[in-house]
Amino acid sequence: MTARQHDRQARVLVVDDERALAGMISNYLDRAGHDAKMVHTGDEAVAIARSWSPDVMVLDLGLPGLDGVEVCRQVRTFSDCLVLMVTARGGETDTLIGLSVGADDYMTKPFSVRELVARVGVLLRRPRSSGHVPVAPLRCGALEVDTEAREVRLEGTLVPLTRTEFDVLATLLRQPRRAFGRRALIDEIWGSDWVGDEHLVDTHVAHVRRKLGDDPAQPRFIATVRGIGYRMGEGS
């Protein structure tokens, strides 16, 4: 939990054109101790995200007009809020599209509202650096990861990562010789009570590799360990 969240309720922006569902989700979030606000269009979502600075956005993919994908893409230009994408489409392609523009997690309709509120809680409990004790940047060759500033630089050039992409990279770099399975990475980043498709990890790793210009066939940084998962270093 961030220092800002210690001082106040977590702000959760619910974006769904189904007004009854958005109202129900907001009510459950309020009862769980969060500060929930709802909007029903993509344009409203971008504007409120900019002015209100939510900690989490529950974002429907299938919005009319400015859809959830474009909302997420625009919000990512000015905010690192956690994004839980919600879609009525169960296809893998829709999930990958949502994750590709910076969503941190996803759920498929129909779902239990209680389960969604629990998933929001899991996102908010994700570990963060406390900042109380100075921590030296993590390094791997020309790659530098500053966990206090939450910045990644490659050969001195800033690499923009989403919050989840940063957490994936930092987790691997903190234990550079450890081969992490998908479940192990989920436990470290999303928490041991997270439930969902563990291939979510592969998508985020692929995004990090692309932004670092890291070829999976000849990795400089993130290697695939056959039958296990991922680690920092050359592949095996």
Length of the chain: 236
pLDDT, tens digit (0-9, with 9 covering 90-100), for 53-99:
999 999 998 898 899 999 999 999 899 899 999 987 655 666 777 78
Q: Are 81 and 75 in contact (CB under 8 A)?
A: yes
Same fold, 3-124 and 138-232: no
pLDDT, tens digit (0-9, with 9 covering 90-100), for 158-198:
999 988 999 999 999 999 889 999 999 999 998 887 878 88
Per the listing, tokens 């997690």 go with 105
What b-and-e string marks burial along 202-225, b requiring 16 or more CB atoms within 10 Å of the CB?
bbbbbbbbebbebeeeebbbbbbe
Q: Is the pTM of this model over 0.75?
A: no
Nearest Cα residue to 210 out of 168, 175, 180: 168
Show me where the domains of the chain are located: 3-124, 138-232
As a CATH number, domain 138-232 is 1.10.10.10
For residue 196, give the amino acid letter: G
- % of the chain beyond a pLDDT of 70: 88
CATH fold for domain 3-124: Rossmann fold (3.40.50)
